[in-house]
Amino acid sequence: MTLSDLGPADRHRGIAATFTDRVRSAQDWDAPAPVSGWTARDVVRHLVEWLPALLAGGSDVHLPATPAVDEDPVAAWEAHCEAVQAVLDDPSSAERTLSNPHIGEVPVDQAIDRFYTTDVFLHTWDLARATGQDDRLDPDFCAALLAGMEPLDEMLRASGQYGPRVPVPADADACTRLIGFIGRDPFWTGGHPSPVAS
């Protein structure tokens, strides 16, 4: 069964597990990340901070506070990840609604899945590349995301969430094309040797 075949809870469990592995293995939290102006620590900070605000602002879901990312990014991520998984494992999440002016009204589990879990998947590459770890992403899920995002290119750029598309070779694989599509340089290595190619 592929990531695309899974429901929100199981997809998050699988994607978050890979990100957790990269978090636990990171050695230099001040290493530059492929996102301009970010460090490896900022990748974790971004994921830990934006979802609680989204949920609290548009639903009755309130995630518990985590340890400070500046003091312990591993503990912060693990606490946050566990809390998100608990929401998704709760059958009532499918019956609860997130209301947001940008996305309308969406079941909480679907909102987390579409916007947050996908973000964790994409930022796995950022953290891995920043810290010199294996940056390979699931190729089938990369292809599925790319197919869904490409028709929305103009809207996604206008949202400010993605930088300009980075050109890649015509014969590049789906993962490389996805990374370029979201505005990252797939060949960025920072201060680390190039990880194993996907």
Q: Which of 108-122, 148-162, 179-193 has the lowest mean pLDDT?
A: 148-162
pLDDT at 36 exceeding the cut of 60: yes
Closest CA to 124 of 34, 35, 19, 21: 19
CA distances from 15 to 4, 50, 95, 110, 129 (A): 11, 18, 23, 15, 17
At 193 the pLDDT is: 52
Q: Return d(Cα 156, Cα 78) in angstroms, integer.
A: 29
- Given a cut of 50, whether residue 198 has pLDDT beyond it is no
Instruction: Name the helix (H) or strand (E) containing 104.
Output: strand 104-107
The pLDDT tens digits for 38-62 are: 999 999 999 999 999 999 998 999 9
Separation between Cα atoms, residue 152 and residue 37, nearest integer Å: 26
Per-residue pLDDT, 90: 94
| Average of per-residue pLDDT across 75-98 | 95
Rounded Cα gap, residues 17 and 35, in angstroms: 22
Reported confidence tier of residue 139, pLDDT bands at 50, 70, 90:
very high
Q: pLDDT grade, residue 144 (50/70/90)?
A: very high
Across 1-10, 23-32, 149-158, the highest mean pLDDT is recorded for 23-32
Q: What is the mean pLDDT of the chain?
A: 91
Neighbours of 29 (CB within 10 A): 19
The band of 177, judged by pLDDT with boundaries at 50, 70 and 90, is: very high
Which residue has better confidence, 102 or 4? 4
Domains located in the chain, CATH noted: 3-135 (1.20.120), 137-186 (no CATH)
Give this prediction's pTM.
Answer: 0.91
Whether the Cβ atoms of residue 162 and residue 182 lie closer than 8 Å to each other: yes
Q: Residue 150: which residues within 8 A CB-CB, separation 6 or more? A: 181
pLDDT of residue 151 exceeding 90, the answer is no
> Which helix (H) or strand (E) is 156 found in, with range?
helix 153-159
Helix/strand/coil for 6 = coil
pLDDT at residue 195, as a whole number: 45
Beta bridge partner(s), residue 32: 39
- In the chain, the percentage of residues whose pLDDT exceeds 90 is 77
Q: Give dist(CA 187, CA 80) in Å, integer.
A: 30
